[in-house]
Amino acid sequence: MIHIESKFPNLGTTIFTVMSGLANQVGAINLSQGFPNYNPSPRLQRLVTEHMERGDNQYAPMPGVPLLRERIAGKIEQMYGKQVSPDTEITVTAGGTQAIFCAIAAFVRPGDEVILLEPCYDSYRPSVETVGGIVVTHTLSAPDYRVDWAAVKQLITPRTRMLCINTPQNPTGTILTEADMLAIQEMLRGTDVLLMSDEVYEHLIFDGEAHASVLRYPELYARSLAIYSFGKTYHNTGWKTGYCVAPPELTREFRKVHQFNVFSGNHPMQAAFADFMADPSEYIGLPDFYQQKRDFFLQAMANTRFKPLTCKGTYFQLFDYSGISDEHDLDFCKRITVEYGVAAIPVSAFYSDGRDDKVIRLCFAKTEDLLERAGKALEKL
């Protein structure tokens, strides 16, 4: 037998696999994993088929299909007033998570420090540790998960290579504002710290709020790699297509990793997205679409004993269950999956130290009948 010492001895199976597996096992309503239970636009699906039939089935260009990058640049100018070069500042990726890994791997060397704001998307830490980086955390607490930028500034050392932010934020549903972005700008001024800005939920912001993208702030953009996802925008997470926007000098380094990581993303789907994006109405209306789902789900949960936290973006709603049980959140999530037929994600899974604030995450990117059934089931708790 070959002896293999695990590179990640403390890294287990992702919580999404665990909870979705349990939901499938017991036939529960799966509100744990973040994906819609409805299909993308029929027109978009037809476009994929058409491009397959035309022969767009071989490798796409390494940076992405040129027309798609042009359409992305047009969208960025329309939404954020920022002109970017499709050739030197946009790279199409095999999903947002692959873009996140490449952004980290391209710049973080062994011993470099990366600041994470926890709770955070669970791929950040493994990506940093895979390339030998050291994670430094700033802990956010329920119920508002507010960032103390003065405290974050104290974490910056000569070894700090990158700060990772996420807005709208998964799992908390919070957003960063202009004041936050200006605070980050001031904090990083005069340093060589890069900013990885995960903006995959850019179109899922509610109550008339604006998305505070790094693309709006020239000084921030100069040190940023901004990550986006078609899956979140067009209801097709399984298509695994996203993109990274960064200044030319950062894009050059990003592509050095991207080309040997996957080389290029899915060709027919990129071509279909390029055609589909000719009509901006396909994504401009998303905030209203998901705000209606959030509000419907909150109403469906109104007669339960769960206490909703404020959700300003994403398609996740957090609930405080401390008035129901003092169980650890993982145990609580497993129990309600088995006994009440609704699968959720424990927020402790998004903290490296397993912090348990008695808060769970439920996904409302589902049809209304499913959300209503989930609410009725949880009323029995």
Banded pLDDT at 76 (limits 50, 70, 90): very high
Tokens of 373: 């059934």
Tokens of 216: 């709006």
Task: Please give the average per-residue pLDDT across 244-266, as a whole number.
Answer: 97
Distance CA 69, CA 76 (A): 11
Distance CA 328, CA 326 (A): 7
The third-level CATH classification (topology) of the domain covering 42-282 is Aspartate Aminotransferase; domain 2 (3.40.640)
pLDDT digits (tens, 9 = 90+) for 101-144: 999 999 999 999 999 999 999 999 999 999 999 999 999 999 99
Banded pLDDT at 178 (limits 50, 70, 90): very high
Per DSSP, the residues of 192-233 read --EEEEE-TTTT-B-TTPPP--GGG-HHHHTTEEEEEEHHHH
* pLDDT computed for residue 65 by the predictor: 98
| 250 beta partners | none
| Distance of alpha carbon 175 from the chain centroid | 12
pLDDT digits (tens, 9 = 90+) for 189-232: 999 999 999 999 999 999 999 999 999 999 999 999 999 999 99
pLDDT digits (tens, 9 = 90+) for 294-330: 999 999 999 999 999 999 999 999 999 999 999 999 9
Cβ-contact 230, 90 below 8 angstroms: no
* pLDDT computed for residue 125 by the predictor: 95
Banded pLDDT at 375 (limits 50, 70, 90): very high
Task: Please give the average per-residue pLDDT across 260-274, as a whole number.
Answer: 97
Banded pLDDT at 1 (limits 50, 70, 90): confident
Distance CA 268, CA 288 (A): 29
* pLDDT computed for residue 334 by the predictor: 97
| Statement: residue 338 has pLDDT above 90 | yes
Of 374, 94, 40, which is closest to residue 235 (Cα–Cα)?
40
Banded pLDDT at 284 (limits 50, 70, 90): confident
| Statement: residue 332 has pLDDT above 80 | yes
Task: Look up the CATH number of domain 15-40+286-378.
Answer: 3.90.1150.10
| Statement: residue 10 has pLDDT above 90 | no
Q: CB atoms < 10 A from the CB of 189, how many?
A: 11
* pLDDT computed for residue 89 by the predictor: 98
Q: Tell me which amino acid residue 242 is.
A: G
pTM: 0.96
Kindly state the percentage of the chain with pLDDT values over 70.
100
Residue recorded with tokens 């980086």: 133
* pLDDT computed for residue 359 by the predictor: 98
* DSSP 8-class letter at 301: T
Average pLDDT taken over every residue of the chain: 96
Q: Is 119 helix (H, G, I), strand (E, B) or coil?
A: coil
| Statement: residue 258 has pLDDT above 90 | yes
Of 192, 241, 207, which is closest to residue 71 (Cα–Cα)?
241
* pLDDT computed for residue 281 by the predictor: 83
- Domain positions in the chain: 15-40+286-378, 42-282
* pLDDT computed for residue 282 by the predictor: 77
Banded pLDDT at 286 (limits 50, 70, 90): confident
Of 181, 172, 243, 247, which is closest to residue 210 (Cα–Cα)?
181
B/e letters for 106-131, b = 16+ CB within 10 Å, e = fewer, are bbbeeebbbbbbbbbbbbbbebbbeb
Distance CA 23, CA 265 (A): 31
Distance CA 188, CA 182 (A): 10
Q: Where are the alpha helices (DSSP H) in the chain?
A: 15-26, 42-54, 66-80, 96-105, 124-130, 149-155, 178-188, 218-221, 230-234, 248-261, 267-276, 281-284, 286-300, 329-340, 368-378
* pLDDT computed for residue 280 by the predictor: 87
B/e letters for 228-258, b = 16+ CB within 10 Å, e = fewer, are bbbbbbbbbbebbbbbbbbbeebbebbbebb
Residue recorded with tokens 């990726």: 93
Cβ-contact 344, 31 below 8 angstroms: yes
* pLDDT computed for residue 9 by the predictor: 85
Distance CA 12, CA 18 (A): 10
Distance CA 217, CA 311 (A): 25
